[in-house]
Structure 1
């Protein structure tokens, strides 16, 4: 292909047809390429502009380009934190994510500030500083680690108590400022996570209606019945993470230990007896079911639950009105959803009414007491 070294005319017109630049009889004999520029007005006509090149006795060559208002690209920042932190943790891990509105990752730098909302933290007395300040690069996503050394090593200057003992139920606030490298735009985001003293919550629900047992009959440690919009708890063990979410584990890490107290007529004294130990898997629902079979001669039942260093204990006494004989235990094995059952007494008769979810009465069972 031969280079054209002759003369040509070049014109640039705006969308209204105004000639904004006109170059006449220009040429380039070395490379066949002509370079030039157009200084745009601060408020040019927006739309499609046209460049026309004309060579004598030949057809025009036309190219179009668009002039539009420049809008700085927008981007969003998201800070991902764990659902909770424990005051005795050594550090906390998190992630900063920054993406443009059209989905591309933001490349730039992050300045991150971590501090507690506990007003008596010692660093707040020294010029109003923050607990931790970090700077790192980001390419759409960047992971970070906040060390808890200041929480572990410092104390409240007013009470001289370690911060580890003071921060439970307070919050750790994370502020991230992301500056993109292309346009030097900075955007900010903030997130919080709550401090807890221990990573799990373990307790018995000591609902009074289940605070008794009948010697010789199985004691069920979790029963729930609902009627309408009400839920009636009958006693259970609750095991969750500190934030209330279920503990995820497939190992039998929950230990249930049962002791009983009974009267020994031969010794004329009360004695305690270790009954048994159960190893249970943490429940996915957060409510643990269990059962205990107390012997017939016991007066009180003592159940202890343990999980990863946490424990709780419940003490259940045999009620005075329980007789040594003549009591029954009912277990429902129905595929229908039983939402409520009610026991009533009339003279020597006992009635058990069972209701289905939706408050439809299923059946009534009558028991008569005989001598």
Structure 2
């Protein structure tokens, strides 16, 4: 395979209502079937009128930008100072919802296209109908990447090719069947095209030639297939936001959690010991938490009519001074600390009365 990356020169500034197909077709009469046309989302947004008027400077501008950002945001993923990483209405997770203030008048902000896949399909159809050329179209924008410095262009929309190249089920040269490998080829092509576009050269369109033997006959499912559902995202929150969620969950930990009914999901003694060790340095001096062994637990459960079905572990807890009201108040807080630490280890706990007088003043069924 030999690839060429060709800039499309002479498009110039784009304004609302401009005919992008005509601008591109006239600037690139050399387009061929099978070319991949990579178009910066900003000129699509401008042509579609996705512009917002804001003050040129001062606190009024910042306030207006914040208002626009809130309107474009579905949820905040992370926030540090003035930086906001958010999920947009499209499902993209990116800084400032992709709102841009470059290559536009100082009194305007550019929003992302409302539907980048639809924009790609429309442009592709118009180029085919007017210039009799069958190309794939990628709508690209710049994004940062987790754990990596620097930016790269990625695909927000695509028509005429698959967003992913799926290698699952293929066998590598060593005989290993691939089970996870899906390459985001449209992102790779968008990044490659950026090499000849640049941010200050006013080259918003490039062509990658040689990747496709021919564009797909239909538009395909678009770049929406690249958006990972938040429920499947292991990093759907920033660290500070995830910590805040955990603290709120700890503050609302119910008195009765559901303990596993499946014996194979029994509380891991090592996890329970880790939880006890976590709070050991912060509980009141003299407070003890003891994970009892199976034989002792079996004996004690017989004295505990409230023992929950499915519980497989028992922690006994004692304060330094069970006769002091102040010590008992602190002890209650320390028991809650342990329950929070157990929850962090995915161990559910149910507070119970002590099994026998004098053994402990609290017990946790696990």
What range describes the TM-score normalised by the shorter chain of this pair? under 0.3
TM-score when scaled to structure 2? 0.19
Larger helix percent: 2
Larger strand percent: 1
TM-score when scaled to structure 1? 0.19
Structure 1 or 2, whichever has the larger Rg, is 1
Q: Which has the higher contact order (CA 8 A, sep 6+)?
A: 2
